[in-house]
Amino acid sequence: MSATAILALASLLGAPAPDTTGNTDPKLAQLVHQLGAKSYRAREDAARNLLKRGAGAVAALSDGIKDIDPEVSERCRQLLPQAAALDRNEKLAALTKDPSVPPPKGLAGLERFLKITGDNKGSRELYAELLSIHHRTLEAAEEDPKKATEQFRQFCDDAYNKWRAGINAGRYSYDTMFATRADITFFLFVAADARIRKNNAAVGNASILLNGNQINNAISEKDGTPAMRKIFLDWLENETQVNFQQRGFAIAALADLKEARPIALKLLERKEQQSYGKAQILIALLKLGTKEDIAKLVPLMEDKTVINRVNLGNGKPLTVQIRDVAMGVALQLGGQKPVDFGFDNRFAAGASTSYLYYGFPDDKTRDEAISKWKEWIAKNLKK
C-alpha cells in the first residue's frame, strides 16, 4: 500500500495518520494507528491482526507506545506483552530445536548464560525453562536494573514468606521454597549479575534460600546437570556477601563439587577477602582440597587475625585465628590428626563442619602446635 493510501485510510477510520518515514513496516504501522480508530470494530480488527503477526508486530507496538494518541499508546501497551510472548516463544523454540544452529538474537540474558554454561543442548533447555517463567525480571535487567532488582527482592521475599507460612502451619522445611529448578537457576543467575549486585539485591530474606537441600540436590552428580553446576559456580565466585559465600562453600562441600576448589584457592589469595569468609573456605577445602593445596595454605600461617573467641563448654575458652584454621586444615589434607599437634581433642568430631573448633586456649599451646607444624611441613612439603 502506498503512503498516500495509508494516509487516506487513516483519515477515513478516524485514526491519526501514521509516520511512514521510519523503518516500521507500513502495513503494521497502519494497524497500530488503526487502534485509535473511532470504530470499535476497526480497533478490534487491528488488534486481532497485530497479534496474528506475533513476533513481527513487537517493533511496531513498541513504537506505538510512544504515539501521541493516548488510545493508540494504551492499546499498544496492552498488546505488546502478548506479542512479546509470541516472539519469545518462537525464539525459544528455535533455540532448543537444534543446538548446532547459532542461538537466536534478542533473548534476555542468553549470551551471558551460555558464556557461563557453554552452548549445548542441556544448557539451552535450562535457559528455556528459566526464561519461560522469569522473563519479566531477565528482560527488565536489560533495560532497568533497578526494577529487576526490586523484582528479584520480591521473589526472595515471597519464598521467605512461603517458608514462614509453612512454619505457622506446622511444616518446618526449607525444601519447598523453590518450586522448580528454573527457580533455583533464576536465584543463582540473577544474584550473580553485576547489575543486580550493584543495586544491593542481597537482602536478608535471600539468605533463607541457601538453606535446605534443594540447591545441593540441583548441583549433585546424581540429580544435577553440568549447566546447573556451572551456574552455581559462577554465583559462588561472584557472591560478595560473606555469609552467602560461606553457605555456598558449605553447599559445594556437601555436594562434593570439586570444581569449586579453584575458586576457593583463588579467593584465599585475595587480600580483600574477609577473614570469616577465608575461615569457611578453608573448612570447605577439607572436602574439596587435596594434599597439593597445602603449599597454598602456608602463607596463611602468618595471618594472626582473630576471627572468634568461643567457649564451647568444659575447659578454657578458645581464641581462633586464621592461622589456626589454616594449620588444622593443612594437617588434615596431609593425612594428619590435629589433636597430635596440640588441637583440643574434645572437638575433633566437629572439625570438619566449623572453624570454631580450631582455636587455642593460650599462646603457649598455639606456639607449641606451630612448632610441631613447622617440623612436619619441613619434612613433608615438597620444595
79 and 170 assigned to the same domain: no
198 belongs to a structural domain: yes
43 belongs to a structural domain: yes
Q: Are strands 306-310 and 318-321 parallel, antiparallel or unpaired?
A: antiparallel
Higher pLDDT, 174 or 219: 219
Separation of alpha carbons 168 and 12, rounded Å:
63
> Any idea how long the chain is?
383
Residue 13 scores a pLDDT above 80: no
Looking at the structure of the chain, the number of domains it has is 2
Separation of alpha carbons 371 and 378, rounded Å:
11
Report the pLDDT value the prediction gives residue 20, as an integer from 0 to 100: 37
78 belongs to a structural domain: yes
- The three-class DSSP label of residue 334 is coil
Q: What average pLDDT does range 240-259 have in this prediction?
A: 90
201 belongs to a structural domain: yes
Higher pLDDT, 6 or 334: 334
The last residue of one of the domains, among 212, 240, 268, is 240
166 and 61 assigned to the same domain: no
70 and 104 assigned to the same domain: no
Residue 88 scores a pLDDT above 50: yes
126-136: pLDDT as tens digits? 999 999 999 99
98-124: pLDDT as tens digits? 999 999 998 999 999 999 999 999 999
Is the pTM higher than 0.85?
A: no
The last residue of one of the domains, among 49, 83, 117, is 83
Task: Please report which confidence band the pLDDT of residue 24 belongs to, taking 50, 70 and 90 as the band edges.
Answer: low
70 and 136 assigned to the same domain: no
Range of the domain at 108: 98-240
With beta carbons less than 8 A apart as the criterion, state whether 212 and 203 touch.
no
Report the pLDDT value the prediction gives residue 223, as an integer from 0 to 100: 84
Highest-pLDDT range among 40-44, 147-151, 199-203, 239-243:
147-151
Which pairs from 59-65 meet CB under 8 Å and 24+ separation? Answer: 59/24, 59/28, 60/24, 60/25, 60/28, 60/29, 60/31, 60/32, 61/32, 63/22, 63/24, 63/29, 63/32, 64/32, 64/33, 64/35
One-character DSSP codes across 61-96: HHHHTT-SSHHHHHHHHHHHHHHHHHHHHHHHHHHH
Report the pLDDT value the prediction gives residue 363, as an integer from 0 to 100: 92
AA letter at 194: A
The C-alpha angle with vertex 159 and arms to 157 and 160, in degrees rounded to 5, equals 65
The proportion of the chain whose per-residue pLDDT surpasses 70, expressed as a percent, equals 90
The C-alpha angle with vertex 64 and arms to 19 and 80, in degrees rounded to 5, equals 150
The last residue of one of the domains, among 215, 240, 265, is 240
Separation of alpha carbons 12 and 6, rounded Å:
10
- The three-class DSSP label of residue 360 is strand
62 belongs to a structural domain: yes
4 and 129 assigned to the same domain: no
231 and 106 assigned to the same domain: yes
48 and 102 assigned to the same domain: no
1 and 25 assigned to the same domain: yes
30 and 109 assigned to the same domain: no
44 belongs to a structural domain: yes
